[in-house]
Amino acid sequence: MLKSVVRAVGAAVRLSSVATSTARTLPLSCPTLCSPSSATTRPFTRSLWMLNNNGASSGYKPKLFSSKALNPSISCGCGSLHTEGDKAFGAFLSDEIKEELKIQKNSNLPKMSGGWELALNGTEAKLSRNVAGEKVTVTFNPEIVSSPNFVVDVTKQGAKHSLVFDCHFPEDEVSHAEGEEESDIFAIREVSFQPEGDTDWKENSYTLNTDALDWALYDHLMDFLADRGVDNTFADELMELSTAAEHQEYIKFLENLHGFVKCN
C-alpha cells in the first residue's frame, strides 16, 4: 500500500515538472494550436494578425478595429454598410446565379402524370387529384437530394376524417437485377386517421407504425395507395419534381441574397 502511494506521488511530481518545463520553453509567438490529446498541430486561421493589411510590420492597425470597416460607404447614399467584402460577395453571387441558370434544365417545373395538380407555397409543395369521389393529396418539402418524405391524405366525400400515410424513401433501397420482381422505391412509415382539413398531426390520434406490421396488411396498404395513383411511377416523378423545385428555390434565394448584399 505504501509503495503504491509513493509511486502515485512520484508520477504526479514528474508530470508537474514536465508541464512547467514545457510552459517555460514554449515561444511566445507560437504559430500553431496544440491539442492536449493529440500530437498533431493546426495553424491559426483568421487571426487578428491576418486581418491586418500590413501583416506584422511596424505600425500595424488590424482591420477589425479600423474605422473604415465600421462606417458605411460615403459614395453610397442608401445609408447602409457597404464594404469591399460586400462588393466581392455581390460579384461572386452574380457569377453563381449565372452558373445555376445554365444548369437549370427548364424554367418550368416538370409535369406529373396521372392528373395531379401542383400548388406551391414557398418551400411546401402540394399535389392533389380526385379519384371517384375521393380526394388524394400529397404534401412534401423539396430537398437538394430530392427523395423527400411525403404525406398522403385520402379523404372521402362527407367524411370527418382523412386516412393519412406518412411515407419516405428508404436510404438502403437497392435496385434489383433484371428478372426479379420490382420492389417499392418508397415505404409507408405510419398510418393514422386525422381530422379532415386539419394540417396539424394530432398526437392524441392512434398511429399505426409499420416497423412491426404484418406484411399482408402492409401490402394491402401499399396497394391501396397504388390504386389511387401513388406508386413507383409517381415516386420517380416526385423525385424529379422535387429536385427541380429545390433548384428553383435555390436560385431565388441567391437572387434575393444578391439584391440584399449589393448597393441599390
Residue 264 lies in a domain: no
Q: Is 128 helix (H, G, I), strand (E, B) or coil?
A: strand
Predicted TM-score (pTM) of this structure: 0.64
- Report, as an integer, the average pLDDT of 170-184: 63
Residue 228 lies in a domain: yes
Kindly report which listed range (6-10, 115-119, 149-153) carries the lowest average pLDDT score.
6-10
How many independent structural domains does the chain possess?
Answer: 1
Residue 73 lies in a domain: no
pLDDT in tens, 204-259: 789 999 998 999 999 999 999 999 999 999 999 999 999 999 999 999 999 999 99
Where would I find the beta strands (DSSP E) of 132-224? Answer: 134-140, 150-156, 161-168, 187-195, 207-209
Average pLDDT score, the chain: 75
Kindly report which listed range (8-12, 101-105, 143-147) carries the lowest average pLDDT score.
8-12
| Host domain of residue 127 | 117-171+183-249
Residue 50 lies in a domain: no
Residue 214 lies in a domain: yes
Q: Write the CATH number for 213.
A: 3.10.280.10
Residue 187 lies in a domain: yes
Under 8 Å between Cβ of 154 and 129: no
What is the rounded CA–CA span in Å between residue 175 and residue 254? Answer: 36
Residue 27 lies in a domain: no
56 has pLDDT over 50: no
pLDDT in tens, 94-119: 999 999 999 887 778 889 999 999 99
| pLDDT at residue 204, rounded to an integer | 75
Residue 130 lies in a domain: yes
